[in-house]
Amino acid sequence: MATLPVLGEPRIVIVGAGISGLAAAASLVSNGFRNVTVLEAMDRPGGRIHTIKPFGTNVIELGANWIHGQEGNPIYQLAMEHGLLAEEGTSITMCVPSSITRQDYFFSQSGKQLPPEQVEQVCCYFSKLMSKAFDQELDVKYNLRSLGSYLDEEFKASDLASSEDARKVFEWCKRSECTDEACSSLYEFSVGQLWLYTALEGGFFNSVGSGGYQALLDVFLKSLSPGVLLCNKPVKCIQWGLSETSISFQGACPVRVLCEDGQQLEADHVIVTASLGYLQDNSSTMFKPVLPEEKMRAIERLGFGVVSKIFLEFEKRFWPQDCAGIQLVWEEGPEDRKVYKSSLGDEGWKDKWYKKICGFDMVARHPNVLCGWITGREAEHMEGLEEKTVGEVCVRLLRSFTGWEVPDPLRVLMSQWRQNPYVRGAYTYIPLGVDAMREQEALAEPLPLESCDSISKPLQVLFAGEATHVQFYTTTHGAYLTGVREAQRIIQHYSDRLHSPNGERAS
């Protein structure tokens, strides 16, 4: 790639070494910017990508698991170019309504395995309803309604509504959708904003190979020189709009980054890639002066959900060879409208947190491991429990629903994204009553805003991360694209200066 002859040596600091921050750094470095520093609060790069090997030589993904879509997906393209995709026949998908197979066993609370034909019929209907929402084909009466309300009303008017088992499977579908949307409940998610999200062609569950998502991170990391990435460097404060500090390529640096360990870095540009959850907890003290009102509003109003995984490792497989996962269908699940409404007035749901678990799916390259998924406030509650307690509850569920002889697990492992002080959740969702495009565009707007004093140096603080992408929020390709987007703002800024009549090349 041709490099840009940079005017002087602008200092660029990137806060966060997730895929967004690493993409920004790689883009800048490949375009000739030599004074780039990436500050990562945790002891490892990757952010919400976290590949580990707790059960032997094969990887487990505590965070991002799949590449969503192929066509026009830069992450899929990168994985394909570097030979990082899973080999044919080794992929395992999560059980969701749009991708169920006869290998997904559905059990009722009474211990009965539900007929696959019935499950397929309900899941197919649910998927059609979701497609209508994504394709913006809803009746205008739903514009200001919740996703849960829309689904309930359509289901009630269908021929399936007369079947109790169908109603229970439909509740499972809604519970599963909570995982995809990262919301605590579909009754808190805006159906009128769902069409803004763009699903790329090429399947929802494209799997990476034996190196896991870490292999993709390594592609970016290899492009950075030693010393560019600094881990264990949490940022305490970003002071912007400064006029008196150390001299850089064009006078005074307008931004100073204060780290918690006392180190200070002067910068011409800072790209903030911290998660929305982290910003919700820290933005009021992280920036001086405080962020503009519209940006603070966006941080406050957008949702940042909790999605947690529970891994159970067994000595040997106890489920049938033709079974890819065990799904739990409750008599009255938490996404039943009456159950949800009754749970709002007290905290009794905490005693039944496990009812939010959709089921337990097999894990790629781990024949003796199952993974349970849980979302929302129940997931947050679970993260505060002991692994032993969570494992005991999960085994009790498996035994009571299936009637099989389920052994105690050898090991239990839980993701804890909500408890992580530098992440505080999984990914973004759009709450009921929120104008997603308005808030996400406001969040992505660099500082100082165009409405500010024109004398101020431009692009002092820029914002990237999946929460700032209107079409691809929640995804790794969305995070990647926003990192490249903000790097390109800086690249274009210096390109314009080079080609402007008054531009001066530094000697």
Residue 374 pLDDT class (50, 70, 90 cuts): very high
Mean pLDDT, rounded, for 420-439: 97
Residue 451 pLDDT class (50, 70, 90 cuts): low
Share of the chain above pLDDT 70, in %: 94
| DSSP, res 69 | -
32 backbone dihedrals φ, ψ, rounded to 5°: 95, 5
pTM, rounded to two decimals? 0.94
- What is the crossing angle of helices 19-30 and 476-499, to 10°? 30
Distance CA 475, CA 180 (A): 11
For the ranges 139-143, 296-300, 415-419, 442-446, the lowest mean pLDDT is seen at 139-143
Distance CA 280, CA 317 (A): 42
12-46+227-301+429-499 and 97-202+307-414 share one fold: no
Mean pLDDT, rounded, for 462-489: 98
Q: Are 238 and 97 in contact (CB under 8 A)?
A: no
Choose among 100, 10, 111, 71: nearest CA to 403. 111
Q: Are 36 and 286 in contact (CB under 8 A)?
A: no
Provide the CATH topology of domain 12-46+227-301+429-499. Answer: FAD/NAD(P)-binding domain (3.50.50)
Choose among 415, 492, 396, 405: nearest CA to 446. 492
3-class SS at 420? coil
pLDDT value of position 92: 84
Mean pLDDT, rounded, for 84-90: 85
Residue 504 pLDDT class (50, 70, 90 cuts): very low
Establish whether the linkage from the previous residue to 289 is cis, with ω within 30° of 0.
Answer: yes
Mean pLDDT, rounded, for 142-152: 96
For the ranges 5-19, 149-163, 196-210, the lowest mean pLDDT is seen at 5-19
CB atoms within 10 A of CB 35: 17
Q: What residue ranges do the domains of the chain occupy?
A: 12-46+227-301+429-499, 97-202+307-414
Is 1.10.340.30 the CATH number for 97-202+307-414? Answer: no
Mean pLDDT across the chain: 93
pLDDT in tens, 105-122: 999 999 999 999 999 999
pLDDT value of position 403: 97
Mean pLDDT, rounded, for 323-333: 97
Residue 217's identity, in one-letter code, is L
235 backbone dihedrals φ, ψ, rounded to 5°: -95, 130
Share of the chain above pLDDT 90, in %: 89
What are the angstrom distances between the C-alpha of 326 and each of 122, 127, 192, 308? 17, 20, 32, 17
CB atoms within 10 A of CB 498: 14
pLDDT value of position 370: 98
Tokens linked to 495: 């390109």
pLDDT in tens, 226-265: 999 999 999 999 999 997 444 444 457 899 999 999 999 9
Mean pLDDT, rounded, for 448-453: 72
